[in-house]
Amino acid sequence: MILITGAAGYIGSHTALKFLEEGREVVVFDNLETGHAETIETLKKEGSLTFIKGDLKNREDINAVFENYNISSVLHFAAYAIVEESVKNPLKYYNNNVIGTLNLVNAMIEHNVKKIVFSSTCATYGEPQYLPIDENHPQFPVNPYGQTKLTVEKILKDYDKAYNLKSVILRYFNVAGCDNKIRIGEWHNPETHLVPNILKSALNTDYEFNIYGNDYDTPDGTCIRDYVNVNDLAKAHLLAYKYLEQKNSSEIFNLGTEHGSSVKEIFDICQKVLNKEIPVKFRERRTGDPAKLFANSAKAKRILGWETEHSVEDSVKTAYEWEKRLK
């Protein structure tokens, strides 16, 4: 069985769905703090899923999973992931993202489970020194969220050497869209991400969408990011899992489309897809936002055979259908 932590959340749930559709048996471990019980109920209809409500911060909770189920490998999504919050409350982030993960990997070692796919982030790179960013780019995170993820990357490296724990580290860039059948979707509270915030503003007259900064050193003054469709990202996890199964060797991959889009461009795509004018206000820059981030994902293509299939328009279309349901 495959253990998936954080599968009640956005990327975890889409990946769990992918594994269920492949006929894999999964055990989901989630504390439902930011994820949703409704998402788990939906996933249960799609295949063989056992849900365990537990918190990685409690060693007994996670140890019990390995005691009670025959786990062969782990996909680890459970984490806090809001940059601004991590600056204000680093303790919360280190406790959960680092100590929680330590509890997980220690339980794995104790129970002789030696394969993990880990959700990391382009936030581990910090301010880019060159673009596109490849896996060898220096890592100097500029916020505690990025630091927690980098710390885990280092732990995984050391545990590989000492205990033979094999990991595939996936460094995500930006993620958008939802399941093409709209069974599950992006559901954060509060929502901080670009695409759902634009769509909420389009659907709710009292929801204000802000563009944070239009004075960046970019062609239209707004930040440039690399938006991967969540289904493409889920597929990368399946490929990473298969890679670990077959090669039993540790690797690191960037996951992005290798194409940068500005905030303004994403906003224009949303207006085009919805065929309506969406209200927007320009605000001050958000702290810790680099001007440009986009990936070199050649390694994931070459080694995993990963290809993205969905455009940003596809992501906006499905995200819009999902937002209408959330409303």
Choose which of 225, 264, 292, 317 interacts with ligand UDP (CB under 6 A): 225
Site for ligand UDP contains 192 (CB under 6 A): yes
The count of chain residues that interact with ligand UDP, using the rule CB under 6 A, is 15
Q: Is 30 exposed, middle or buried (0-12, 13-18, 19+ CB in 10 A)?
A: buried
Residue closer to ligand UDP by CB (options 83, 105) is 83
Residue closer to ligand UDP by CB (options 15, 86) is 86
In angstroms, the CA 30 to CA 51 distance is 8
Is there a contact between 327 and 292 (Cβ–Cβ < 8 Å)?
no
Give catalytic status of residue 207 as yes or no: no
Q: Which of residues 275-314 bind ligand UDP (CB under 6 A)?
A: 286, 289
Residue closer to ligand UDP by CB (options 84, 160) is 84
What letters, b where the CB count within 10 A reaches 16 and e where it falls short, cover 174-208? bbbbbbeeebbbbbeeebebbbbbbbbbbeeeeee
Site for ligand UDP contains 204 (CB under 6 A): no
| Contact mark string toward ligand UDP, 169..188, x via CB under 6 A | -----x--------------
Site for ligand UDP contains 194 (CB under 6 A): yes
Amino acid at 169: I
In angstroms, the CA 63 to CA 81 distance is 24
Residue closer to ligand UDP by CB (options 72, 192) is 192
Residue closer to ligand UDP by CB (options 56, 211) is 211
| Contact mark string toward ligand UDP, 57..96, x via CB under 6 A | --------------------------x-------------
Shortest reach from residue 146's CB to ligand UDP, in Å: 10
Angle, alpha carbons 45-236-264 (nearest 5°): 100
In angstroms, the CA 118 to CA 74 distance is 8
Active-site annotation holder among 10, 93, 145, 172: 145
What letters, b where the CB count within 10 A reaches 16 and e where it falls short, cover 290-308? bbbbbbbbebbeeebebeb
In angstroms, the CA 39 to CA 86 distance is 25
Active centre residues (catalytic): 145
- Chain residues that interact with ligand UDP, rule: CB under 6 A: 83, 174, 192-194, 197, 209-212, 223, 225, 263, 286, 289
